[in-house]
Amino acid sequence: MLTRRAAAKAGALAGGLVLSGWAPGRAFAAAAPGPPTRRRSAEPRALPPPFTVPLAVPVDLAPSRSTADTDHYRLSVGRSTTEIVPGVATPVLTYNGTFPGPTLRARTGRRTVVTTTNLLDGPVSMHLHGGQVSADNDGQPMDPVQPWSTRGYTYENTQAAATLWYHDHAHMAEAENVYRGMAGFYLLEDDGERELGLPTGEFDVPLMIRDVHLDDNAELVYIHDDFAGRSTHLVNGGPQPYFEVAARRYRFRVLNGANLCFYTLHLSTGDDLVQIGSDRGLLAAPAPQKSIMLSPGERADVVVDFGRYPVGTRVVLRSASRNATLDLMAFDVTAEACDPSRVPASLATLPPPGAASVTRDMVFEKTGDTWTINGRTYDPMRVDTEITWGSTEIWRVVNKDHVAHNMHLHLVHFRVLDRNGRPPDPGESGLKDTVRVMPGETVRIQATFDTWTGRYPYHCHLLDHSAMGMMATMEITR
Ligand code: C2O
Ligand code: CU
Ligand code: CU
């Protein structure tokens, strides 16, 4: 755990000095975990049996200060430990010491200011994924928080309610940093959503699903593109947890927080997952689905009504991944409940998509050893796509690879027009910021660039790929 004294020291240093004490040579090195702080054992550390660890719900971070229109928060990035195998400390990188990081709650129309302190020895960059944020607050790869320094990020929250998340974006280090724990939820609420009567409070639960590669000492192993090695799946940092629920509706804000793994979620009962939201907010109408596929970085808000099951029922959340069925977590129905919540037939009015004036191709491909978009690897100094402010564009995202990718745009939301000429999944009909593109697929997306101007990244959100170059820069100018 980060001690209060260390945090205070970091704050004092950052407040009093301009810090430039990092060597350029290590600027892009991923921060490696420190020496283990626990007794080593020659015995392999066994994972607990499925459904024996309770689900951890990330804590809500309290504002350090609130004014009439702004909530201020403090986050410190540092080394800590977590227990994945019970009783064994696993070194991780964290925001405020927890794995995953604390949840930030924000309201549309109220500003959020996050003061981030970097207690690591390499630069970090905090990105609000899905946030409609100015370029200098976007947490971009070449605009980091230097070691032992502090910076503020301002989020105006001028967008509709949505399940967003924050995570590291340091140049070439984001994959390892996020893998080691630098991620948390940012839940944006608004009045329209509140009036719908959806499940709230303890019945509105964020679920961050991801995988890890654990060694025999329960330490995290990071190897580039280690799809096969990351065979332990975590929900909110715990392996195959159980969650005791009342016999009523719950809203689950599911985030695929993995670097590479795609999850195809479904319930062991075969009942529908009722999707009510995607990356950038509520769908126009609920979309009941037997299964929902989420690629890394995508979110799905789903409502599950446990009221249909007798007390004593266990419902397992599963994923079809890696040619197998994974049990991700269990919901144990333990109590009767009255349920004042509802899922209205109409949820939100989506902005009209507008008429596009520009069409572009974005080709994803692994060329030799390098991950490319339109044949080029990421050069943070190069502008790849010039966009006129106010315009609407269609991007044809083409996957020429034999592996799956996805496309994430910073700043804007987009609509998914079609996938290989066919309509997208019902859950992809809303406002998106990340979309999967399977091998051989062409996915057309449409976005309007009428918010901030400036330079922003777009990239594959399989972070092992983006960190190795599958990223590019768009510049929006008036
Ligand atoms: Cu979720 Cu550029 O990132
Ligand atoms: Cu993003
Ligand atoms: Cu990729």
pLDDT tens digits for range 134-182 = 999 999 999 999 999 999 999 999 999 999 999 999 999 999 999 999 9
User: What is the 3-class SS of 159-183, one letter each residue?
Assistant: CCCEEEEEEECCCCCHHHHHHCCCE
CB of 169 shorter than 6 A to ligand 1: yes
246 C-alpha to center of ligand 1: Å? 35
- Give the pLDDT confidence score for residue 44 in this predicted structure: 52
Instruction: Give all strands (DSSP E) within 54-181, no chain letters.
Output: 65-66, 70-82, 90-95, 104-107, 111-118, 126-129, 149-155, 162-168
What token pair was written down for 88? Answer: 């064994």
Mean per-residue pLDDT pooled into runs of 10, the chain (478 residues): 38 32 32 45 74 98 98 98 95 98 98 98 97 98 97 98 98 98 98 97 98 96 95 97 98 98 97 98 98 98 98 97 89 97 98 94 92 97 98 98 97 98 95 98 98 98 97 98
Nearest bound ligand to the CA of residue 227: 3
Q: What is the pLDDT of residue 334?
A: 98
Q: What is the Å distance from ligand 3's center to 270 Cα?
A: 31
- List residues bridging with 267 in a β-sheet: 317
Distance between terminal CA atoms of the chain?
Answer: 47
Q: Which residue is associated with the tokens 């330490």?
A: 219
Q: What pTM, to 2 d.p., does this model score?
A: 0.91
Rounded to whole angstroms, how far apart are CA atoms 340 and 335?
Answer: 16
Cβ neighbours of residue 62 under 8 Å, at least 6 residues apart?
Answer: none
Q: What token pair was written down for 157?
A: 């929250």
Residues 184-216 have pLDDT tens digits of 999 999 999 999 999 999 999 999 999 999 999
Atom of ligand 1 nearest to the CA of 459: 2
Cα(464) to centroid(ligand 1), Å: 12
User: Can you tell me the distance from the alpha carbon of 395 to that of 414, in angstroms, rounded to the nearest whole number?
Assistant: 10
* Per-residue pLDDT, 192: 96
Q: What is the pLDDT of residue 179?
A: 98
Q: Which two tokens stand for residue 235?
A: 């929900």
Q: How many beta carbons lie within 10 A of that of residue 253, not counting itself?
A: 22
Q: How far apart are CA 145 and CA 77, in angstroms?
A: 10
What confidence score (pLDDT) does residue 387 get?
98
Q: What angle (nearest 5°) sits at the alpha carbon of residue 146, between those of residues 75 and 377?
A: 105
| Spatial separation of the C-alpha atoms in residues 75 and 435, rounded to whole Å | 29
Q: Distance (Å, rounded) from C-alpha 184 to C-alpha 178? A: 10
The secondary structure of 378-399, three-state, reads: CCCCCCCEEEECCCEEEEEEEE
- Full DSSP string of 235-255: ETTEES-EEEEESSEEEEEEE
Indicate whether residue 280 lines ligand 1 (CB < 6 A).
no
465 Cβ below 6 A of ligand 1: no
H/E element, 299? strand 299-305
- Nearest-ligand number for the alpha carbon of 457: 1
Q: Phi and psi dihedrals of 195, rounded to 5?
A: -70, -15
Q: Which ligand is nearest to the CA of 439?
A: 3
Surrounding ion ligand 3 within 5 Å at CB are 405, 460, 462, 465
Centre of ligand 1 to C-alpha 70, Å, is: 25
Q: What is d(CA 388, CA 61) in angstroms, rounded to the nearest whole number?
A: 38
What pLDDT is recorded for position 19? 31
Are 298 and 264 contacting, i.e. CB atoms less than 8 angstroms apart? no
Ligand 1 neighbour 74 (Cβ under 6 A): no
Residue nearest to atom 1 of ligand 1 (CA): 129
Ligand nearest to the CA of 169: 1
Comparing CA positions, the residue from 251, 335, 265 lying closest to residue 301 is 251
Q: Which helix (DSSP H) or strand (DSSP E) does residue 263 occupy?
A: strand 263-267
| Nearest Cα to Cα of residue 240 among 330, 331, 302, 332 | 330
Contact (CB, 8 A) for 386 and 360 = no
Q: Is 253 touching ligand 1 by the criterion CB < 6 Å?
A: no
**What digits encode the pLDDT tens for the residues 283-326?**
999 999 999 999 999 999 999 999 999 999 999 999 997 678 99
Look at residue 190 and give its three-state secondary structure: coil
Write out the DSSP string of 195-249.
Answer: TTT---GGGEEEEEEEEE-B-TTS-B---TT-TTT--EEEETTEES-EEEEESSE
